């Protein structure tokens, strides 16, 4: 076990997720989740060694209070002196940040400048960074950006077909998301295949409540489905994904909905939930579809069909396809979704081995296509926390 450990923080507007990792082997020594930040019943739950306990944050229900409670827990466990650096997940780095970086005043200003691109996320990240800097004030802090990996996309992939002045004046373009996951999975897929990332053409589907897909060639992002915001692209748990922008005017004139109401509808009431009229949880939908629930069956079919169309399109961006890689909560655990998607893509040569597909769940990965077929289909469990920890260790000068 390494002497110095990495603390990884992911701060939302009402939550703080944390994990203490050994960046050498990925072992998580302690994890925490603070919920209901800024409410009287704020609480933080710690998990370690198979057990968990919750601590009230009523005395200080802020981000700073949550990080202070984490420090107290670390002291109780004798781990506080072993934190060598803190890595922070930051959703949006715009075009300013093409890689992870040590946090200083200039980086803080850069994250602030990207607030208009991520108004819900970046302010919360800044609160978390400042809280952590005040409490873990003797160690380096590193920002790891979800958007950085996609900064290698060519101009023709990230540009919207709207007046160019909107890009120059407001940064209106496609940025993507889940970049930290894609970077980890692309490298891990190459390792498992016994190949260099150079020359390897991957289409990676990161499927969860938020879902996206990316074309990766030579270990670099060529294109991805999410755009200016995470609303664009695939059908998701509660997000519509791609939809005719005229829906805003249509619903305004016919349903009396203003822009905020339509935006809320597309982000929080659509996707699997909206189609099924039942749930945004893929597991629930699979169970109910098996019982004959028509909405659940339709939702799953649309999810798989739209994803399959994107796989074919992303193969163009990757310059071909050596492997289709599934990751994320749904991608790693739903053999049904994987089988449906691959079923649509048989014309590309993709196949599924039913036994291997069923085995590749609950943390188990591997190749799920039939022996001798090409392109390959495979499952690679993601590990964004380890990726953040490794970036943080490297930039902080801690041996990886």
Confidence of residue 2 (pLDDT cuts 50, 70, 90): low
Q: Does residue 45 carry a pLDDT above 60?
A: yes
89 assigned to a ligand binding site: yes
Q: Does residue 1 carry a pLDDT above 80?
A: no
Q: What is the pLDDT, as a whole number, of residue 121? A: 85
Distance from chain centroid for Cα 158: 19
Contact 377, 350 (CB under 8 A): yes
Q: What percent of the chain has pLDDT over 70?
A: 99
For residue range 175-216, what is the model confidence (pLDDT) as tens digits? Answer: 999 999 999 999 999 999 999 999 999 999 999 989 999 999
Q: How do beta strands 211-217 and 220-224 pair?
A: antiparallel
Among the options 22, 80, 146, 335, which is catalytic? Answer: 146
Q: Is 146 a catalytic residue?
A: yes
pTM of the full predicted structure? 0.92
283 assigned to a ligand binding site: yes
For residue range 215-244, what is the model confidence (pLDDT) as tens digits? Answer: 999 999 999 999 998 899 999 999 999 999
333 assigned to a ligand binding site: yes
CA distance 187 to 387: 11
332 assigned to a ligand binding site: yes
From edge to edge, which strands make up the β-sheet containing 376-379? 220-224, 211-217, 201-207, 323-327, 376-379, 366-367
Q: What is the pLDDT, as a whole number, of residue 182? A: 98
Q: What is the pLDDT, as a whole number, of residue 3? A: 76
Task: Tell me whether residue 46 is exposed, middle or buried, using C-beta atoms within 10 angstroms of its C-beta: 0 to 12, 13 to 18, 19 or more.
Answer: buried
CA distance 112 to 63: 18
Show the DSSP H helices in the chain as ranges.
63-76, 105-113, 122-135, 155-158, 164-170, 179-193, 247-255, 259-268, 271-276, 282-290, 294-318, 328-333, 335-344, 354-359, 384-396
Bridge partner residues of 54 (DSSP): 45
Give the pLDDT mean for 266-277.
96
CA distance 388 to 6: 9
For residue range 110-162, what is the model confidence (pLDDT) as tens digits? Answer: 999 998 888 878 998 999 999 999 999 999 999 999 999 999 999 999 999 99
Q: What is the mean pLDDT of the chain?
A: 94
For 106-162, the DSSP string reads HHHHHHHHTGGGSTTTHHHHHHHHHHHHHHSTTS-EEEEETTGGGGGS-HHHH--SS
Q: Does residue 337 carry a pLDDT above 90?
A: yes
282 assigned to a ligand binding site: yes
209 assigned to a ligand binding site: yes
For residue range 90-101, what is the model confidence (pLDDT) as tens digits? Answer: 999 999 999 999
Q: Does residue 383 carry a pLDDT above 50?
A: yes
For residue range 296-320, what is the model confidence (pLDDT) as tens digits? Answer: 999 999 999 999 999 999 999 999 9
| Domains of the chain, each with CATH number or no CATH | 5-145 (3.30.420.40), 193-384 (3.30.420.40)
Confidence of residue 25 (pLDDT cuts 50, 70, 90): confident
Q: How do beta strands 211-217 and 201-207 pair?
A: antiparallel
Q: What is the pLDDT, as a whole number, of residue 207? A: 96
């Amino acid at each position: 076990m390494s002497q110095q450990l990495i603390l990884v923080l992911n701060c939302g507007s009402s939550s703080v997720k944390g994990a203490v990792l050994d960046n050498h082997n990925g072992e998580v020594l302690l994890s925490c989740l603070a919920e209901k930040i800024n409410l009287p019943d704020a609480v933080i739950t710690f998990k370690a060694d198979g057990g968990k306990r919750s601590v009230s944050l009523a005395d200080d229900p802020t981000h700073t209070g949550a990080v202070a409670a984490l420090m107290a827990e670390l002291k109780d466990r004798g781990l506080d002196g072993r934190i060598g650096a803190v890595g922070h997940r930051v959703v949006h780095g715009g075009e300013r940040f093409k890689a992870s970086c040590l946090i200083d005043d200039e980086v803080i200003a850069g994250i602030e400048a990207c607030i208009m691109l991520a108004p819900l996320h970046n302010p919360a990240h800044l609160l978390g960074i400042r809280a952590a800097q005040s409490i873990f004030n003797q160690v380096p802090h590193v920002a790891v950006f979800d958007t950085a990996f996609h900064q290698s996309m060519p101009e023709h992939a990230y540009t919207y077909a709207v007046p160019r002045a909107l890009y120059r004046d407001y940064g209106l373009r496609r940025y993507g998301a889940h970049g930290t996951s894609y970077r980890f999975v692309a490298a891990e897929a190459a390792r498992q295949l016994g190949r260099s990332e150079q020359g390897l053409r991957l289409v990676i589907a990161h499927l969860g409540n938020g879902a996206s897909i990316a074309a990766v060639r030579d270990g670099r992002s060529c294109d991805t489905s999410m755009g200016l915001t995470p609303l664009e692209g695939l059908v998701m748990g509660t997000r519509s994904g791609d939809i005719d922008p005229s829906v805003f005017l249509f619903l305004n004139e016919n349903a009396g909905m203003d822009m905020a109401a339509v935006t809320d509808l597309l982000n929080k009431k659509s996707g699997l939930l909206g189609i099924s009229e039942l749930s945004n949880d893929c597991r629930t939908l699979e169970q109910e579809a098996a019982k004959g629930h028509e909405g659940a069956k339709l939702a799953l079919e649309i999810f798989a069909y739209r994803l399959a169309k994107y796989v074919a399109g992303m193969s163009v961006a990757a310059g071909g396809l050596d492997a289709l890689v599934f990751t994320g909560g749904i991608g790693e655990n739903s053999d049904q979704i994987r089988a449906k998607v691959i079923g649509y893509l048989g014309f590309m040569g993709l196949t599924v081995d039913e036994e291997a597909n069923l085995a590749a769940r609950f943390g188990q990965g591997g190749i799920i296509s039939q022996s001798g077929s090409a392109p390959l289909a495979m499952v690679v469990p993601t590990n964004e926390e380890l990726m953040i920890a490794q970036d943080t260790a490297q930039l902080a000068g801690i041996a990886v």
